[in-house]
Structure 1
Amino acid sequence: MAAELPSPPFIDVPGIANFRGIGGHVDPGLIYRSADPTKASKAGLEKMSKECVESPPRDVRTEADIRESRSVMTLANARATTQPRSDLQHYLGIRVVFDLRSAPEIKRDGPEWAGVAVEDADVFEAYGIQREWVPVFAEKDYGPEQLAKLSSVHKVRLDGLRRRVPRHLEVRRAAYAKIFRHLAQPRPRPILVHCTAGKDRTGVLVALLLLLAGAPDTDIAREYALTDLGLAGLKPLFKERLLKNPALGGDEEGVDNMISSKPENMSATIEMIKEDFGGAERYVTEYCGLSEGEIKLLRQNITEGALQ
């Protein structure tokens, strides 16, 4: 991970891009997000799996410091005196990895799994981490490059993410429901949620969780936009591959737009969740089937220990 990435929320896990917590509105040790983690080094897998045996640093912040940290972007750029850097460098104790990728993505990105059933493509078991394959679309490639092709990237502008999200939420609600139910059980163990880039599918799931946690829409949009920092090292590769595709017409502006994580894209997505689905809580109850009691426990679990 590039040294200039702010910590928090980014965490240096060797071999994994865009690895971070999801902001101060939720328990900082419960939910993590990232790009594809299956190429993590041994050190990265150990950092993910081992549990911290040391007590976390004492919070020495003043009331003014705490108020200052309420913004996700303030949290992302906090000094060590506000949130000690060592607090995010210990082992993470992750016990479940939720993989939102499709079968074609897994097979393409992991040639070592040729001939292996997708649900068995697991590098985590040896480290005591359970892998749950919960694809948003099981048999369609929805990685960044393929999405660009499907969307005629040179015509896509700010509403690209918003146009895709309703189908994601309607068709694959079972994928998100499994994650919600894990977080709605008593004392849920820490999780990592990822897709290929850790951008849109992961971003929508995180947005729903942050809405349930009561985070302001602007903070959710800013959290999504942090992906531009997390993927900075991979963007040149994405762009090079996309521009080689003749169907995209060599449109650099369109390609840049597709691989970016603009806050206004997430703002439009949040608006859609409210207008089309009646908000996050209604989506989780009516579409994902969680009970009021489960939602209450989920909300309690994810906000306990939050910085806000």
Structure 2
Amino acid sequence: MTDAFIDIPGVRNFRDAGGIGALRRGVLYRSGSLHTLTGEGARKLKDLGLRTVIDLRSPFELEVWPDQRHGLDHETFNLPTLPANRGDLDRPWPEGQAELYTFMPETAGPSLAAVVRRLAAPEALPVIVHCAVGKDRTGLTIAVLQSLLGAPDADIIADFLLSNLGLGLNEGPAPYIDETGTERISRPVSAELLASSLGWIRTHHGTVPAYLHTHGITEADLDALRANLSA
């Protein structure tokens, strides 16, 4: 599955999310942010026919690290996976990686519903879905989309784990500077992490479609999504 990676200069962890389930290649890409996109990278994105970028980061992250366009003509949608402010929660923000993966599906419903609606529109494709490095928030979002297109969990998780290779985390954790200027540690993802997110969805809602229904997605929306993304 490593042939999914595409070299886009200035963009980390860029790859095609298709090729599993009914999701066809060439319509849905996943990556880290475009804030260091180079002119050459922009030309390669243009060659892919890019029409839409869905940015899952917080408004503050966008302010600090805005995506670069280099003249690219595409629509951008900011659909944050996580609450913009820690004060928006009535309980502590998760500090550990394991806690994050059960927290995300609890808060990401509105973002995921908006992503589904956008990708159901034929004029949206091809699309890039990204967060900061394309690992956690992007990992959950792409997993939900792949699940809706009939991909089995084993294939979804195998694709998810490619972020370790794409980010150089296959050899262990690595330090990074976050949007506030604080040094943090980026840790590899594991199969158990994504399984816990999908498990949270199924425990609380039964199925991924039922989870999305609670956030306003209709069967017609899902049918349109599948028709648009299917091979």
**TM-score, with normalisation over the residues of structure 2?**
0.83
Match of 1:261 in 2: 189
**AA at the equivalent of 1:135:** P
Root mean square deviation, CA, Å: 2.8
**AA at the equivalent of 1:273:** I
Cα distance in 2, alignment partners of residues 293 and 177 from structure 1: 13
Over 3 Å counting, the alpha-carbon distance change for 1:240 and 1:297 in structure 2 is closer
Over 3 Å counting, the alpha-carbon distance change for 1:220 and 1:233 in structure 2 is closer
1:197 is displaced (CA, Å) by 1.4
Cα distance in 2, alignment partners of residues 29 and 41 from structure 1: 21
> Within 5 Å, which residues of 2 pair with 1:152-231?
152-153=95-96, 159-169=98-108, 173-186=109-122, 188-231=124-167
1:184 is displaced (CA, Å) by 1.4
Pairs aligned (count): 220
Cα distance in 2, alignment partners of residues 122 and 218 from structure 1: 32
Residues 99 and 133, structure 1, Cα contact 8 Å, conserved in 2: yes
Cα distance in 1, alignment partners of residues 68 and 54 from structure 2: 13
Structure 2: give runs of 5+ residues left out of the alignment. Answer: 87-92
What SS does the aligned partner of 2:121 have? Answer: coil
Over 3 Å counting, the alpha-carbon distance change for 1:235 and 1:174 in structure 2 is farther
Over 3 Å counting, the alpha-carbon distance change for 1:241 and 1:30 in structure 2 is closer
Residues 2 and 162, structure 2, Cα contact 8 Å, conserved in 1: no
Cα distance in 2, alignment partners of residues 240 and 7 from structure 1: 24
**AA at the equivalent of 1:136:** T
Residues 11 and 20, structure 1, Cα contact 8 Å, conserved in 2: yes
Cα distance in 2, alignment partners of residues 228 and 160 from structure 1: 19
> Within 5 Å, which residues of 2 pair with 1:10-159?
10-25=5-20, 26-49=23-46, 91-108=47-64, 110=65, 121=66, 123-124=68-69, 126-137=71-82, 139-140=84-85, 151-153=94-96, 159=98
What SS does the aligned partner of 1:132 have? Answer: strand
Greater helix share, structure number: 1
CA offset digits 1:153-208 (Å, max 9, x no partner): 4xx6xx33433223323xxx332222211221245421001111111111111111
What SS does the aligned partner of 1:126 have? Answer: coil
Cα distance in 1, alignment partners of residues 224 and 131 from structure 2: 26
1:233 is displaced (CA, Å) by 7.2
Greater strand share, structure number: 2
What SS does the aligned partner of 2:118 have? Answer: helix
What SS does the aligned partner of 1:207 have? Answer: helix
> Within 5 Å, which residues of 2 pair with 1:261-300?
261-287=189-215, 289-300=216-227
Mark the structure with the bigger radius of gyration: 1
